[in-house]
Amino acid sequence: MDDTEPRDLRSRNRQAVREAISAAALRLALQHGPGGLRLVRVTDIAEAAGVAPRTYNNYFSSREEAICAFQADQARRLGRALRSRPADEPLAEAITAAVIEVFATPEPDRAGLAMILSTPELQGEALKAFTMAEEPLATAIAERTGTGARGNLSCQVLAAAVAGAVRVAGRHWLDTTNPPPFATVLRDALGHVLPPTGEGGAST
């Protein structure tokens, strides 16, 4: 969906700068390796992105946040992706399709993922990013299942389970030599937490 493209030309430029900084940060991080994250100065990132150090700070408050901005954006799209699925599609299939659309299209960058998963600091940030997806996802699930209660436990638990499955799938996919398409791993992982077709998981 192209709804991620902002209308305002100003916002457009802003997003471009954001991605530029993020890309520069990830690239520098990859150069220094998992252990040398500390050696990546904020000044270097800003310079590589073509902005002032102060400006970098207007976008991100930490290196980790900048590096994981892509994951954060992905997570932000998940709820919307689920809503855009046809309403008559079974819940499990809709979630699976939405997840694959967001996280496996295109195939993730293996090096970047490895960098993040092998660096504790970045793990935490990526974790935050994935968790951000849970609340909108839970809301979307609640809408789809018709469960009115927004505070419904089962929807939130399911959303958390889905997010966790995606995260675990990513790690598993990365640890696999000669890996299958990420979408395959995602389907497999989601199969363990998704209710069988026809059951929305709302029992309370």
Partner DNA sequence: CACCAACTTGCGCGCCACGCATCTATTGCG
Partner DNA sequence: CGCAATAGATGCGTGGCGCGCAAGTTGGTG
31 in contact with DNA (CB under 7 A): no
Q: Cα(65)–Cα(116) distance, rounded to whole angstroms?
A: 11
* Binder of DNA out of 1, 6, 36, 61 (CB under 7 A): 61
Binding at 16: pick from DNA, a copy of itself, none (beta carbon under 5-8 Å per type)? none
Which residues lie closer than 8 Å to 25 by C-beta, 6 or more apart? 40, 45, 48, 49, 60, 63, 66, 67
**Per CB under 8 A, which of residues 144..163 are in contact with a copy of itself?**
151, 153-154, 156-158, 160-161, 163
* Binder of DNA out of 41, 196, 197, 199 (CB under 7 A): 41
Cβ–Cβ under 8 Å, residues 122 and 33:
no
Shortest approach of a copy of itself to residue 155 CB, angstroms?
9
32 in contact with DNA (CB under 7 A): no
Residue located via tokens 């992905």:
74
**Per CB under 8 A, which of residues 6..45 are in contact with a copy of itself?**
none
Three-point CA angle 71, 124, 94, nearest 5°:
40
Distances (CA, A) of 14 to 7, 20, 26, 42: 12, 10, 18, 19
Binding stretches for a copy of itself (CB under 8 A): 123-125, 127-128, 131, 134, 151, 153-154, 156-158, 160-161, 163-165, 167-169, 171-172, 175, 185, 188-189, 191-193, 201, 203-204
